[in-house]
Structure 1
Amino acid sequence: MPRSFRPPAKEVSDMSTIIFFLIQCSILAYAFIGGVFLAFADFIMRSLVRTSGHGGVEAMQVINREVFRWVFMALFLGMAAVSLVIAAYGAFALTDTAGTLIMLAGLCYLVGCFGVTVFFNVPMNETLAVMETSDAQTRTYWLDIYVPRWTFWNWVRTTACAVSAALLLFGFVRMN
């Protein structure tokens, strides 16, 4: 196996091959999830607001139903579980700066991405889901409450994913 794809000999006792590959895959997964959120934060929400009539509300209602497809949800939910493992590994298996960075990467995803989704974005999605698209109150909620708040929290999720990926990468590099 090439040197870049295996842990150094001194680290083999400290880090199993499974953890080694888990960390590498998690760096990518954090970046992929952050990329989805970045697209929404940067241009999708702006585009939905600019649709005529109630098109943006209807499109977002559909998006919020379709997001439950297995690829995104498996990655999003799976990374919550993996982040617990990563945080625990950083906290208990490593004792230096690498451990702190790795622990913070897992916690950042759990709080800043997963927690924000559960406590802020999902409740707004559930409120929007039951609203009638042609109702004037829906349009007011959409423009005055949903879009600015949802987008703000989406930027938090985007940033948390980017920070998680960076922290995990820096921690991983410090291990070697």
Structure 2
Amino acid sequence: MRAILSTALLWFAAIGCGLMGGIYFAFSTFIMRAFATLDPAQASAAMNAINAVILRSPFMPLFWATTLSALALVVLAAPEWQTTPGRLALAGGLVYLLGMFGCTVAFNVPLNDQLAAASGDAAAWQRYLAEWTRWNHLRTLASTLACAGFVWALVARR
């Protein structure tokens, strides 16, 4: 039963991390760059609109379900850290929890809150753009590495 649960969680986490990494990749590679070409008040308003809509979108269940699956994989893989699949699942889970979830909670969400309070201030937008994008690059990398770790763990189990 534990093997079936681990396999299902690895599949779900791999797909979830891939989707999350793709979303973050889009922001890092072209959405924020496009916003940088706009008037700061327009860009700030657009990002604030995204931040409001995203909370009521399918993104949030995916965000939480992938985070919880990564946490469950850390718990399940910890006793199996001596095996290659165990190490890969453990590493993938920790990278995702620290690099994606931790970064989101510690940096991206507070920056979103600051932007919402700044009311289109140009200097606030420029700071936000640089800092938020930097942390988003880390979330992109963490999600991608976690996805790769989970897929590799699935392959190593065969």
TM-score, with structure 1 as normaliser: 0.85
Runs (4 or more) in structure 1 with deviation over 6 Å come to: none
2:131 corresponds to which residue?
Answer: 149
C-alpha offsets along residues 24-57 of structure 1, whole Å, 9 cap, x if unaligned?
1211110000100000000000111111352101
Q: CA RMSD in A?
A: 1.4
- Structure having greater relative contact order (Cα 8 Å, sep ≥ 6): 2
Q: Out of 36, 57, 63, which is 1:49 matched to?
A: 36
2:7 corresponds to which residue?
Answer: 20
Q: Does the 8 Å contact 2:99/2:139 carry over to 1? A: yes
Q: Give percent identity, aligned residues only.
A: 32
Q: Does the 8 Å contact 1:14/1:93 carry over to 2? A: no
Q: Does the 8 Å contact 2:74/2:89 carry over to 1? A: yes
Q: Which runs of 5+ in 1 are unaligned?
A: 1-12
- Measure, in 2, the Cα distance between the counterparts of 1:85 and 1:108: 13
Q: Does the 8 Å contact 2:81/2:90 carry over to 1? A: no
Q: Does the 8 Å contact 1:28/1:165 carry over to 2? A: yes
TM-score, with structure 2 as normaliser: 0.94
Q: Out of 63, 66, 75, which is 1:79 matched to?
A: 66
84-93 vs 119-128, which moves further: 84-93
Q: Out of 119, 126, 140, which is 2:106 matched to?
A: 119
Q: Out of 61, 64, 88, which is 1:101 matched to?
A: 88
Structure number with greater Rg is 1
Aligned pair count reads 158
Q: Which runs of 5+ in 2 are unaligned?
A: none
Letter in 1 for 2:149: L
- Measure, in 2, the Cα distance between the counterparts of 1:46 and 1:33: 19
Secondary structure, aligned partner of 1:130: helix
Q: Does the 8 Å contact 2:21/2:143 carry over to 1? A: yes
The structure carrying a bigger helix percent of its residues is: 2
Q: Does the 8 Å contact 2:80/2:87 carry over to 1? A: no
Measured after TM superposition, the shift of residue 20 of structure 1 is: 1.5
2:22 corresponds to which residue?
Answer: 35
- Measure, in 1, the Cα distance between the counterparts of 2:36 and 2:123: 12
C-alpha offsets along residues 114-163 of structure 1, whole Å, 9 cap, x if unaligned?
00000000111001111222xxxx111111x1111100000000000000
C-alpha offsets along residues 67-113 of structure 1, whole Å, 9 cap, x if unaligned?
10241011111212111111111112463111011101011110000
- Measure, in 2, the Cα distance between the counterparts of 1:125 and 1:53: 15
